[in-house]
Structure 1
Amino acid sequence: MKFRAVIKETQGWWIGWLVDLPGVNAQERTRDALLESLKIGAKEMLETDIPFDPGFSMEQLDIPEPEWA
């Protein structure tokens, strides 16, 4: 799986988040450490069991790639 990450170095820290997985963000001292933290965050997010109330369902949506991708 591939996810888009927005990253930036600012004041000695690398910060970033995954556009496609809201809530996955990180801050690290190096770019490599930041990318690894984002990967770990995405893995943990995707492995999280999500409870559903009766009557709800989970659907997968097929969204075409944007032209700029």
Structure 2
Amino acid sequence: MSQFKYQMLIQWSEEDNCFLVGFPDFSGQRWRTHGDTYEEALTNGIEALESLIIAYKATGEPLPEPTVSKAA
């Protein structure tokens, strides 16, 4: 899946007492998964991104263009 350069946002939630994971390039729900630790959130985020890509391909929906930032 390394050819897909999508942003993954991992943010602590005091309300949920866990790290929330989202993908800004994909419309729909803001948060896709979570984890009790940052590492768990990252692992779950990778799995969620892979599942998103599979779902888009299965329905024939075009994948969104990834937002790409350039280093200074």
TM-score range (shorter-chain normalised) is 0.5 to 0.7
Flag the structure with more relative contact order, 1 or 2, with Cα contacts below 8 A and sequence separation at least 6.
Answer: 2
Deviation, 1:64, is 8.2
**Runs of 4+, deviation exceeding 6 Å:** 60-64
The number of equivalent residue pairs is: 63
Specify the SS of the correspondent of 1:7: strand
> For the pair shown, which has the larger CA radius of gyration, 1 or 2?
1
Q: Which runs of 5 or more structure 1 residues have no equivalent in the other structure?
A: 52-57
Instruction: Report which of the two has the higher share of helix.
Output: 2
Instruction: Report which of the two has the higher share of strand.
Output: 1
Q: TM-score, normalised by structure 2?
A: 0.60
Q: For residue 8 of structure 2, what is the amino acid of its counterpart?
A: A
Specify the SS of the correspondent of 1:43: helix
Q: Does 1:42 align with 2:42?
A: no
Deviation, 1:61, is 7.9
Determine what percentage of the aligned residue pairs are the same residue: 10
Q: TM-score, normalised by structure 1?
A: 0.62
The RMSD of aligned alpha carbons is 3.3
Q: Which runs of 5 or more structure 2 residues have no equivalent in the other structure?
A: none
